Chain A
C-alpha cells in the first residue's frame, strides 16, 4: 500500500537532515501553490512511502506563509500519517506544535531527535511514558548519527496503515468545556476527525477559522467571555497558557535533567564571547575578512596574499587556455576546419564558457564557507549582532542573511529572504540583495582591478561597501512607496545552540549550489556565448568578418546605445555597452564578452585585455562602469528568482527598473565626482597617458542627483504616495 507522510517540525529541529536520511537522493523540489516556499517531496528507499517535507514552523497559527502552507496541507490534503520531528534538547517549545498536530486527528509518530545530545548532557527521557502521555508512538532517533531511522520507518508504516488516530492531549476542565461547546456548534460543518482542531482554533480566536465560522464563533462568545472574566485574561493567552501548562506537566513527568555545569554548555561559553558587547562586532568583521580575503586574496603595497579561490581559478583558467584551447585550435588547423568554425569553437564557445567555468572553484569554496557558517549556527548570531544597524534603515538583522548568501550567488540569496516574516521587509530584501557583489561579479571586479586600478585590493572591499550602502539607502527609499510603507515589524528569532557541522549536509549544500551554476554555464551562458560570437563576427549582410568586430552587428547596436552611457564616462567605446548588456545573461559574461570582442584570452589575468581596458577607462570611469554593472539589473536567473519572491512580473519590472535607475545614478555620481580629482580621469593609450580632464557636464548632473537623493531620503513623502494612509496595523500585514 502506498502511503503519503508529512514531515513537520520546528525550524532547527533537524528536519532537513532527517528528510535527507529518509529519502536519500530521491528528492524533488517544487513550489507550494500560490506561495514561494519550497515543497520538497521524496520516496523512502525500499518502501512505498512518499514523504512531503513541510516548512519549519513553531505553531499552526495562520500568521506566516509557512504556517498557512503547512496547515492547509494538513487540513485539506490530509496525509496518511505525520512524522512530527521534535528536538529532545528543547522539548517544551517543540511540544507546543506537537499538541496542535495531535488535535488534527491524523495518525502521528513523534520522532524524538537529537537523543545523542540528550545522553551527552546526562539527561534521561522516559520514552514509554512520553508516548503514553502524548497518546501516540514516540521513536527516539538521532538523524545526524543515522540512529533509529529504520525503527521510525517501521512505526510510521504501521501508523499510516492502521489509520489509528492519536488520543488528543486534554486541557483543564474549563477549556475542555469550551472546546466541547465549540465542537457542538461546528457539528458536521467540519470533518469529524478534524473537529477538535477546528474547535480549539475557534476558541482561541484564530482569525482565519473565526472568519469562516463567524456564526459559530458568535454562539460560543458568551461562554468564552465567562472564562475570560474568571481568569482575568484574554482567551488567546488562556489557550496558549493552558497548552504550555500541560506541556510543563508532561515534561516534568518524563524528563529527568542532570545537573548542569555552572559555566553553561560549551555552546553557551562560545556564545558569551561571539556575541559579547566588546567582541561581537570585531568577530563578525573578522569572520567576513577571513572568508572573503581568504578566497579572493588581498594586496596592499608589497604585501600580497593569494586567495585559495583565486589560486584555483588561475590554475583552471591556465588549463583551459593550454592545453584545451590550444589543442582544439591545432586540431582545427590540421584538419582544414574553416576560420569561422574554428573561431566559434575556440573563441566563442571554449573561450566564453571557459571564462565562466574557470571561476567555478572560487564559487565552490565560497559556497562551502557559507554553508559551514549556516550549519554551525553563526548566521542567526550575525542577525542578532547587526540588527540595530539594519533597523535604523527600516530593515531587520535578518535582511543581512540573504545579503551574505548573496555574496555567493544572488539566486539562493534572494531565496533566503523567505526566512523574514515581515512581508514588506521580505520584498525589499528580495529587491536589493543583488546589490552586494555575487560570486559571478568577482571576475568583473578582478578584471577591472588589474586593468584600471593597478591591482589595488581595496577596490573589492569598496565594491562590498558600495553594495551595503545601496541596500541601506534603498531600505529608506523603497519604504516611501505606498505598497512598501508601514511601521517596523517585530524581530523575534531563535538562537539555536552552536553545533559541529554535519559534513554530509555541507557537502550536499555546496554541491547543489555549484551544480546549479554549472547547469547555467552549460545552457544559458553557452547560448549567450554563441549568440555574442555570432553578433560580433558577422556583419548585417551575414558575412563573416574574420574577427574584425568593428563592422559587426553587435558593434552597430552598441554604437547606438553607447550614447546613453557617455555621461558615465564610457566614451565612444561600444564594447563597454555591449559587455554590460551581455552581463544581463550572466554577470561573468562581461569578462567572457570582452574576451571574445577584444579577441584575447578571457581569463582574469589576460594581459591583452588589461591593456585594451586601460586605454578605455580611467579611475573615475572605471568606478562608474563597476558601479553600474554591479548594481543594475542582475542576471536573468536572479531576475527569475526575484519574480518568484515578488509574485508578479509587474512588481519584478518595477524592481529591475529601480535597480537600473539607481545603478545609473551611482555611476553618474562616481564619475562626476571622482573625475574632479586630479589624475583620476586619465587613460593609457599605447603607453601614452592621456588626461580627459574634469567631466563638467557629468559633475553638474552628479550634484543634481545627489541633491535629489538627499531630498528623497529626508522628505517625509517625496513621491506623494503616503498622504492619507492610515497607520500600520497588524491585520493589514496578514492580508498582504
Chain B
C-alpha cells in the first residue's frame, strides 16, 4: 500500500482511500482530502516533517505520521 508519506516532493497523487478512524479521519475529510481528489506535494519542512500539500486549491500542512493514513495511487 502506497501512502501520502511515500509521495515525492513535487509529485501529484490521487487519493484512493482513507484509513484510520474517529477524529483524525473526520478532520482529514473536513479539510477536503477525500477519495479521488488530487494532492500536490509542495514541500517538506526544514527539519524533515511536516509536509506541505496543495489540495482543492489551498495549502495544508500535515505530519508524515498523519499522512500515513492516506492511501494514494
List chain A positions with a Cβ less than 8 A from chain B.
58-59, 61, 63, 90-93, 96, 233, 236-237, 240-241, 244, 271-272, 275-278, 280-281, 384-389, 391, 397, 421, 488, 490-497, 729-731, 733-734
Contact = CB atoms under 8 A, between A and B. Distances in A.
Interface string B13-42: 000011001111111111110111100000
Nearest to B28: A492
B27 to A, nearest CB: 6
A241 B35 contact: yes
Contacts of B29: 236-237, 240
Given A244-B37, A276-B46, A389-B47, A494 B58 contact: yes
A236 B34 CA distance: 11
Given A275-B45, A277-B46, A281-B46, A490 B63 contact: yes
Contacts of B73: none
Contacts of A277: 43-46
Nearest to B18: A237
A96 B9 CA distance: 27
A493 B50 CA distance: 10
Contacts of B52: 275, 384, 495
A59 B35 CA distance: 18
Contacts of B23: 63, 490, 730, 733-734
A11 to B, nearest CB: 11
Contacts of A63: 23, 26-27
A233 B44 contact: no
Contacts of A734: 22-23
Contacts of A93: 31-32, 56-58
Contacts of B65: 488, 490
B61 A391 contact: no
Interface of B: 17-18, 21-32, 34-37, 43-50, 52, 56-63, 65-66
A603 B52 CA distance: 48
A61 B30 contact: yes
Nearest to A67: B30
Contacts of B18: 237
Given A280-B46, A384-B50, A388-B49, A96 B63 contact: no
Nearest to A91: B57
Helix, strand, loop or mixed for chain A's interface?
Answer: helix
B58 A90 contact: yes
Contacts of B61: 384, 387, 491-495
B43 A92 contact: no
A326 B25 CA distance: 67
Given A96-B32, A388-B47, A490-B63, A233 B26 contact: no
A116 to B, nearest CB: 18
A384 B45 contact: yes
Nearest to A93: B32
B57 A730 contact: no
Given A384-B50, A388-B48, A490-B24, A237 B34 contact: yes
A399 to B, nearest CB: 14
A280 B45 contact: yes
Contacts of A387: 45, 47, 49-50, 61, 63
A241 B63 contact: no
Given A388-B47, A493-B61, A495-B60, A241 B27 contact: no
A40 B20 CA distance: 36
Contact of B66 (A92, A386, A490): A490
A666 to B, nearest CB: 27
Nearest to A282: B46
Contact of A92 (B25, B26, B32, B62): B32
Contacts of B57: 90-93
A276 B43 contact: yes
19 contacts: A58-B30, A96-B30, A237-B18, A244-B32, A271-B59, A272-B43, A277-B43, A277-B46, A388-B47, A391-B63, A397-B50, A490-B23, A490-B27, A492-B27, A492-B60, A492-B61, A492-B62, A493-B61, A731-B22
Contacts of B35: 233, 237, 241
